[in-house]
Amino acid sequence: MVLIDTLFIIAVIIFSVIIHEVMHGVAADSLGDPTARYAGRLTLNPIPHLDMFGSIILPIICALSPGGFLFGWAKPVPYNPYNLFRAPRWGEMIVAAAGPASNLVLALIGGLLIRLQLFPDIAGVLMYVVAVNVSLMVLNLIPVPPLDGSKILSSILPGSLGYGALRDRMEQNPFLGFGIVLFIIILFGNAFGKLVFTIAAAIAGV
């Protein structure tokens, strides 16, 4: 049973991060930038999206570790912010927010199925879907490059504050940003786990 739970958590993380990245591309495409579509990244086929560490190794570590650290990532979907002509001011923020928003939608769908008790035999499985996607949403909203929260924040803040330049510099070394996030998780892991499962329980009504 433990093995089945572990494999399912890994599968949910992989599926959720792929949806997350595809929705970045869908948002960019809808705003005028076909880069992701031309790159073949608007597909649910996992192969073009998988990142060895973020999509496989990290989900395995998360599944085998106690607590609320349920995280991973796929290869970033390419897009050109200069092509977002349908929303020149807020385009980059919309593209960035599409990823966490997709995780919220997946969590809400899982929570709704639990609340309606349509599949009571797999309520525990659906709870994994809710928890994983809440975790991905919350983590990606942290305003540390290259996470989505940094793009959202730099779109909101005036350019004079210089956050956009800082973000661009840090995105040249994404492992620095992920290192900061991992440090935050290690330092505040218990609090983060409680936050994730509090939100997940509220969504699922349990």
Residue 112 neighbours by CB under 8 Å, 6+ apart: none
- Chain Cα centroid distance, residue 30: 20
Alpha carbons within 13 angstroms on the beta-carbon side of residue 178 total 10
CA distances from 8 to 42, 46, 56, 183 (A): 24, 16, 13, 26
**What is the residue type of 94?**
I
The residue assigned the tokens 């990245």 is 21
The yes-or-no answer on residue 171 being catalytic is no
The count of residues in the chain is 206
Q: How many CB atoms lie within 10 A of CB 61?
A: 14
CA angle 182, 180, 156 (to 5 degrees): 115
Contact 130, 110 (CB under 8 A): yes
Which one is catalytic: 12, 13, 20, 21? 21
| Residue numbers annotated as active site | 21
